[in-house]
Structures are given as structure tokens and as C-alpha cells.
A and B are shown apart, each in its own frame.
Chain A
């Protein structure tokens, strides 16, 4: 690790991506993620990479599709409305089993919505987004440092499982500056080979074909079933979750990203008042930490759960599935770009536990 520098989350994502060996970036500007593309525009040409501002989000994601097919470490970034535009391409990339990284610095929606931070794209990120039976690996950092750390992981896991990975941040994480230390730069030529990539046969091997069109139902079903098996492996091996003060907690919050760090402050405030609160913070939203939550729900110590989100309640559905009726699951959220403070979370939590 190198010396800490002060950077915006957007810039840290870009720098960490380049250090992870990413040399291709295709995007289209949108607030609040524009600094990411701007950083790439400045740095990529200097560091042997390609930055291209496409004519639209749809063009950008299809350029990602092409570069991923050719075996490149490639990424794109956008914010909510732009990610909606990219969904067709994302579904194709998933259908063609190609790795890439997609950044969504979420803003309030629906429609053009606003430009302030939100988490209202949870369903879109974790339940498909585009058409067809597919998943993205979805990572939800809660600090600038974690943004920098997770992007290398996202690239590696995307390559390992041959699927798109998403980093889901929000306007706050994108815009805020915090100290960050970066991993050492990796040489793109040192990355594992991709024998499936369409790089030219040199008359030495059979042609590789990258495609998402399969008109024979048997063939398509087989391919889909294989992919589902991979998803199963991922659900068993790739869950990432942080628990804070959950050991003896009676009230367990579940929160991710920006709101998780605010909820952590709320846990501290409640603990000071003698209320045993704790926090489960999913770091991967898909695969979701179902088992970690169920374990706490099944324990005798826990009395209630509370999902806290910057939306009107999306992740709470996965929390309820995980808790599986063992304990009540409450909700607190703001939306449209409103970010609740710890006092509001504490107040809401007390109302539920004093019932």
C-alpha cells in the first residue's frame, strides 16, 4: 500500500481501476459520476489505455461488450438514468458470458429524478435489470477506501466467473473526499489469460465465438443451466459482509453503502444509552448475505431487525427472505436524494423497540 492521498470516490474508483489493469473505458457523462470519466480522460492516454466518450450510454455499453469479447479489462460508469439505458447491453454481456465492470453512482429516481445520492437502484442491480435469467456480481462499498479496494476484486471475480460485476455507490460516495491508499499497479500483461477471447486464431486454433443468440431451446436451456450452476458456486463462495456489534445485539440493523456508515453511528448512540444495537452490512448485494442474517435471526439474543435504506424499501425484501419470519423486520428510509442522519435513525429505532 502506498501513502494516503485525499480523493473523491469517483476519482479513487478510476485510479484503482487503472491500477487493476483496466486499459479501456467507454462512457457518457452524467452527474454525479462525471469526475470518474474526467479522470479516465486525463489518465488513460498517459498510461497506455483508451478513453472514449461515446455518443450515448447505449453506444458505450456496446463498446464494453466488444472490448470484453476481445479479452480486455474494460469498464464503464454512469448514474441511474444512464444505467437504465445500458440495460440491454448488460443483458447481452451476461448472455455472452463476458467479464466487465460497470459503475453505478446512484442518484434519486425514477425518471431523470435528481442528482443527489440515493439507493433506489437496488432492485435493478440485484434482480436483473435487463431481460433474462441473469445476475451481476454487485459490490456496495461504504467509504472511498473501500471503493478503491473493491474495484480490483470486481475485475478479478468478473474474470473468474466470466460475468459482469457492478460497483453500486451513490452520489455521496462519488463526491466526497476521504484519505485513500492504493494497491500497487498491476501490469495488464500479468493478468490470467482468457483463452475464450476473440483475439484472432493466427490459424493455430479453432475460432472462438461470442454470442448471446441461441435459437434452439435445448441449447439455450443448457447454457442457462450451466450459468445458474456458476451462480450457485458464487452464492456459496463470494458473499462479503461486515458485522458490527451484533454478538449480543437485540436490535439488528441491516444497511449498505453510505447509509451503513451513518447507521453505524446510530448503533454507537444507542449503545451509549444502553440499547443493544448492532449492524449487518452487506458488502456484496448479490450474492446477498442471507446466511449471516439468518444466523442472527435464529439466535435467541436478537429481538428485531431494521433495514435502513436511501429508498422506500428494496433491500428489505431480501432481509425478510433471510430472516424468514423468525423476527419482525422494520424499515426506515428516505428517498429522492435525502440522506437521513443518525439521530433520525435512532429516533425511528426507539419507536419500534418501545412498542
Chain B
């Protein structure tokens, strides 16, 4: 089993954090994992992305050229990575922020107004977690309980309320 996921959006949307959350859960589930951020000038106000690999074998390159899953949280990210996704792969996009459809017909496309849903649930900045929840629903990567447990474990006790909020947002994406 190997799953290659790219999380992409603007700096500040939490794409690096969403990737980290998945990476932690993968680690806790006993998988090999790697997390690689973009660290160029694009971090400063432009697009940001990170590459997460979950595998039951040692991971060679942490660079993802052909993702199995693309989580796109803005239009430039969709445009940049859409054609790189493997045939049969999954593209999840925040339809509240991206007024465009996936042009390819050989991939599975999921449209979810993540920012809007997160706002309704109390914090519009947590669209990243809603997107992660949707990814976990559409691809059997990890048990959802495992992800929740991992979030609890890796959130400082002083910020337990944040862990609850993150779990709630993942659940919104997962149960939809």
C-alpha cells in the first residue's frame, strides 16, 4: 500500500497542518510516512503545498510527481497539480473557493464547500480539516478513529479544545 497526497492552497489556509495531521496519524498507525513542505518564496503570501506519503514499505523519494490524491484549496493549486494526478486518482476541491470544475474525466472529483461548512460549524479557517475528512472518506487510508486518537495525542493538553474542534471539522468532511 502506498498513498501519495498533495495538500495545496494559499499560505495561511492550513495546508501544511492538514498534511501534518495525516502524517501523524499514519505514523501512529505504524505506517512509514514522509511529509515534505514547499519552502520556496511561494510561502510568503503565495501558494503553499506539502507532500505526504503513507506506505507499508520504506519510502524512497519524499517528492511526489504523480499524486494519488490532490486536495486543492485554491484555484492556482488546482491548475498547478490537476494534470499530475494519476489516472483513477482523487481530486478534492473547496467549491466555495474554486469556481472551476475538474477538466479531466479519468479521475474522481469531489466538490465540497469546505470553508463555508467550517464557517457554519464555528470557524471558517478550519476548511483544511473538512477537506482532510473528505479525503479519509473517499480513500481507505486510515481508520477515522485512529485519526481522532492521533489528534488527541499530539495536541498539547493546554489546547485540548482545539483538538475537539479539529475532530469536529474532520467529521463534517467525513460524514458528508
Within 1-55 of B, Cβ neighbours of A (below 8 Å) are at 20, 23-24, 27, 33-37, 39-40
Instruction: Tell whether, in the assembled complex, residue A265 and residue B60 are in contact, meaning their CB atoms are under 8 Å apart.
Output: yes
Which chain B residues lie closer than 8 Å to A261 at the CB level? 58-61
Instruction: Tell whether, in the assembled complex, residue B35 and residue A265 are in contact, meaning their CB atoms are under 8 Å apart.
Output: no
Instruction: Tell whether, in the assembled complex, residue B40 and residue A176 are in contact, meaning their CB atoms are under 8 Å apart.
Output: no
Q: Mark A332-351, 1 if CB is under 8 A from B, else 0.
A: 00000001011000000000
Number of inter-chain CB pairs below 8 Å: 54
Instruction: Tell whether, in the assembled complex, residue A177 and residue B40 are in contact, meaning their CB atoms are under 8 Å apart.
Output: no
Does chain B have a CB within 8 A of A262? yes
Q: Bound state CA distance, A266 and B61, in angstroms?
A: 10
Q: Which of A116, A175, A264 contacts B37 (CB 8 A)?
A: A175
- Categorize the interface residue count of chain B: 10 to 19
Instruction: Tell whether, in the assembled complex, residue A262 and residue B60 are in contact, meaning their CB atoms are under 8 Å apart.
Output: yes
* Given A31-B39, A341-B65: A177 touches B58 (CB 8 Å cut-off): no
Does chain A have a CB within 8 A of B63? yes
Does chain A have a CB within 8 A of B62? yes
Instruction: Tell whether, in the assembled complex, residue B36 and residue A176 are in contact, meaning their CB atoms are under 8 Å apart.
Output: yes
* Given A175-B36, A176-B34, A176-B35: A339 touches B27 (CB 8 Å cut-off): no
Q: Which of B34, B63, B65 contacts A177 (CB 8 A)?
A: B34
Q: Bound state CA distance, A116 and B40, in angstroms?
A: 8
Does chain B have a CB within 8 A of A178? yes
Q: Which of B34, B35, B61 contacts A339 (CB 8 A)?
A: B61
* Given A6-B20, A172-B36, A177-B23: A341 touches B59 (CB 8 Å cut-off): no
Q: Which of B24, B27, B35, B39 contacts A115 (CB 8 A)?
A: B39
Which chain A residues lie closer than 8 Å to B58 at the CB level? 261, 264
Which chain A residues lie closer than 8 Å to B33 at the CB level? 6, 178-179
Q: Mark A84-119, 1 if CB is under 8 A from B, else 0.
A: 000000000000000000000000000000011000
- How close is B83's CB to chain A, nearest CB, in angstroms? 17
Instruction: Tell whether, in the assembled complex, residue A264 and residue B60 are in contact, meaning their CB atoms are under 8 Å apart.
Output: yes
Q: Mark A268-312, 1 if CB is under 8 A from B, else 0.
A: 100000000000000000000000000000000000000000000
Q: Bound state CA distance, A116 and B61, in angstroms?
A: 15
Does chain B have a CB within 8 A of A4? yes
Within 163-203 of A, Cβ neighbours of B (below 8 Å) are at 171-172, 175-179
Which chain B residues lie closer than 8 Å to A4 at the CB level? 27
Smallest Cβ-Cβ distance to B43: which chain A residue: A31
* Given A6-B35, A176-B35, A177-B34: A115 touches B61 (CB 8 Å cut-off): no
Does chain B have a CB within 8 A of A129? no
Instruction: Tell whether, in the assembled complex, residue A179 and residue B27 are in contact, meaning their CB atoms are under 8 Å apart.
Output: yes
Instruction: Tell whether, in the assembled complex, residue B23 and residue A339 are in contact, meaning their CB atoms are under 8 Å apart.
Output: no
Does chain B have a CB within 8 A of A21? no
- How close is B11's CB to chain A, nearest CB, in angstroms? 15
* Given A6-B20, A6-B27, A116-B40: A177 touches B35 (CB 8 Å cut-off): yes
Which chain B residues lie closer than 8 Å to A175 at the CB level? 36-37, 39
Q: Bound state CA distance, A259 and B39, in angstroms?
A: 19
Which chain B residues lie closer than 8 Å to A264 at the CB level? 58, 60
Q: Bound state CA distance, A101 and B159, in angstroms?
A: 37
Interface residues, chain A, with chain B CB atoms under 8 Å away:
4, 6, 31-32, 115-116, 171-172, 175-179, 261-266, 268, 339, 341-342
18 more A-B contacts (CB under 8 A) besides A4-B27, A178-B33? A6-B20, A6-B24, A6-B27, A115-B39, A172-B62, A172-B63, A175-B36, A175-B39, A178-B34, A179-B27, A179-B33, A262-B60, A262-B61, A264-B58, A264-B60, A341-B61, A341-B65, A342-B60
9 pairs of A and B residues whose beta carbons are closest in the complex: A265-B60, A177-B35, A262-B61, A176-B36, A179-B27, A262-B60, A176-B62, A261-B60, A175-B39
Some 21 contacts from A to B, beta carbons below 8 A apart, are: A6-B23, A6-B24, A6-B27, A6-B35, A6-B154, A31-B39, A32-B39, A171-B39, A172-B63, A175-B36, A175-B37, A176-B36, A177-B23, A178-B34, A179-B33, A261-B58, A261-B60, A265-B60, A268-B60, A339-B63, A342-B61
